[in-house]
Chain A
Amino acid sequence: MFPARFRDRLERTDRRKGEAMIVARELVKRYGDTVAVDGLSFRVEPGRVTGFLGPNGAGKSTTLRMLLGLDAPTSGAALIDGVAYRDLPAPTRRVGALLDPGAVDLGLTAAGHLLWQARAAGIGRARVTEVLGLVGLEGLGGRRIRHLSLGMRQRLGIAAALLGDPGILVLDEPLNGLDPEGIVWVRRLLRGFADEGRTVLLSSHLMNEMEATADHVLVIAKGRPVADIGVAELAAGARERVEVATPRPSELAALLLDAGSTVVPGETGRLVVTGPDAARVGELAAAHGIVLHALIPVRARLEDAFMSLTGEGTGKTTPDREVGEGEPAR
Chain B
Amino acid sequence: MITAEHRTGTRAAVAAEWTKATGSARNRRTALAAVGLALVVAALFCLTMGPTTGVPLTEQPAFDVLTSALLGVDAAALVLTVLAAAVVGGEYATGMIRTTFTVTPRRGRVLVARAATVVAITGMVALVAAVGSALVSWVVLAVAGLPSWDVADPAVRRVVGGAALMAPFHALVATAGALWSRSTAGGVTVALALMAAPTLAGWIPGGGALLPFLPGEALHAVAGIAGPHGPHPVAAAAVLVVWSAAALFAADRAVRRRDV
Given A71-B260, A99-B102, do A115 and B96 touch, yes or no (CB 8 Å)?
no
| Bound: A116/B5 CA distance, A | 19
| Binary contact track B114-141/A, C-beta < 8 Å → 1, others 0 | 0000000000000000000000000000
User: Which listed segment binds B: A16-24, A117-125, A266-274, A309-317?
Assistant: A117-125
Given A107-B24, A117-B16, A120-B104, do A102 and B99 touch, yes or no (CB 8 Å)?
no
On chain A, the number of residues with a Cβ less than 8 Å from chain B's Cβ atoms is: 33
| Binary contact track B74-96/A, C-beta < 8 Å → 1, others 0 | 00000000000000001100111
Q: Which residue of A lies closest to B26 (CB)?
A: A107
Given A68-B102, A70-B101, do A105 and B12 touch, yes or no (CB 8 Å)?
no
Give the contacts of A107-138 with B (CB-CB under 8 A). 107-109, 112-113, 115-117, 119-122
The answer on a CB contact under 8 Å between B8 and A122 is yes
The answer on a CB contact under 8 Å between B23 and A72 is no
Given A119-B12, A121-B103, do A65 and B20 touch, yes or no (CB 8 Å)?
no
Q: Does B147 contact A (CB under 8 A)?
A: no
The answer on a CB contact under 8 Å between A103 and B94 is yes
Give the contacts of B91-113 with A (CB-CB under 8 A). 91, 94-96, 98-99, 101-106
The answer on a CB contact under 8 Å between B98 and A120 is no
Q: Does B153 contact A (CB under 8 A)?
A: no
| Bound: A120/B113 CA distance, A | 10
The answer on a CB contact under 8 Å between A65 and B103 is no
| Bound: A68/B99 CA distance, A | 10
On chain B, the number of residues with a Cβ less than 8 Å from chain A's Cβ atoms is: 30
Query: Contact partner of B94 among A70, A89, A104, A115, CB < 8 A?
Result: A104
| Bound: A262/B19 CA distance, A | 61
The answer on a CB contact under 8 Å between A108 and B20 is yes
The answer on a CB contact under 8 Å between A109 and B23 is yes
Q: Does B259 contact A (CB under 8 A)?
A: yes
The answer on a CB contact under 8 Å between A99 and B26 is no
Given A71-B259, A102-B95, A103-B96, do A120 and B24 touch, yes or no (CB 8 Å)?
no
The answer on a CB contact under 8 Å between B259 and A65 is yes
Interface centre among B95, B106, B259 (most CB of A within 10 A): B259
The answer on a CB contact under 8 Å between B12 and A121 is yes
The answer on a CB contact under 8 Å between B98 and A70 is yes
Q: Which residue of A lies closest to B100 (CB)?
A: A120
Give the contacts of A213-267 with B (CB-CB under 8 A). none
| Bound: A121/B94 CA distance, A | 22
The answer on a CB contact under 8 Å between A112 and B103 is no
| Bound: A103/B92 CA distance, A | 9
Q: Which residue of B lies closest to A96 (CB)?
A: B102
Q: Does A47 contact B (CB under 8 A)?
A: no
Query: Contact partner of A70 among B17, B25, B260, CB < 8 A?
Result: B260
The answer on a CB contact under 8 Å between B96 and A112 is no
Query: Chain A residues with Cβ under 8 A from B12's Cβ?
Result: 119-122
Query: Contact partner of B20 among A88, A100, A116, CB < 8 A?
Result: A116
Query: Contact partner of B16 among A70, A107, A109, A116, CB < 8 A?
Result: A116
| Bound: A102/B16 CA distance, A | 19
Query: Chain A residues with Cβ under 8 A from B5's Cβ?
Result: 89
Query: Chain A residues with Cβ under 8 A from B20's Cβ?
Result: 105, 108, 112, 116
Query: Contact partner of B102 among A91, A115, A119, CB < 8 A?
Result: A91
Q: Does B241 contact A (CB under 8 A)?
A: no
Q: Does A160 contact B (CB under 8 A)?
A: yes
Query: Chain B residues with Cβ under 8 A from A297's Cβ?
Result: none
Given A100-B95, A103-B98, A107-B25, do A91 and B105 touch, yes or no (CB 8 Å)?
yes
| Bound: A173/B174 CA distance, A | 35
Rounded to whole Å, the gap between the CB of B74 and the closest CB of chain A is 27
Rounded to whole Å, the gap between the CB of B89 and the closest CB of chain A is 12
Interface centre among B8, B16, B17, B91 (most CB of A within 10 A): B16
Interface centre among B19, B101, B104 (most CB of A within 10 A): B19
Query: Contact partner of A99 among B8, B13, B98, CB < 8 A?
Result: B98
Q: Which residue of B lies closest to A100 (CB)?
A: B95
Give the contacts of A184-219 with B (CB-CB under 8 A). none
Query: Chain B residues with Cβ under 8 A from A120's Cβ?
Result: 12-13, 15-16, 103-104
Q: Does A69 contact B (CB under 8 A)?
A: yes
Q: Does A27 contact B (CB under 8 A)?
A: no
| Binary contact track A76-110/B, C-beta < 8 Å → 1, others 0 | 00000000011011011000010110111101110
Give the contacts of B1-40 with A (CB-CB under 8 A). 5, 8, 12-13, 15-20, 23-27
Q: Which residue of B lies closest to A31 (CB)?
A: B259
Given A70-B259, A105-B90, do A91 and B103 touch, yes or no (CB 8 Å)?
yes
Question: What are 16 A-B pairs with beta-carbon distances under 8 A?
Answer: A65-B260, A68-B102, A68-B105, A70-B102, A70-B260, A72-B259, A86-B105, A86-B106, A99-B99, A102-B94, A104-B99, A107-B24, A108-B24, A112-B19, A112-B24, A121-B103
- Please report A residues at the B interface, Cβ cutoff 8 Å: 65, 68-72, 85-86, 88-89, 91-92, 97, 99-100, 102-105, 107-109, 112-113, 115-117, 119-122, 144, 160
The 9 closest A-B pairs by CB, nearest first: A103-B95, A112-B23, A120-B16, A86-B105, A116-B20, A71-B259, A119-B15, A116-B19, A120-B103
| Given A70-B101, A103-B98, A105-B96, 11 new contacts (CB under 8 A) | A86-B105, A89-B5, A99-B98, A103-B95, A105-B91, A108-B23, A112-B23, A113-B23, A115-B23, A116-B20, A120-B104
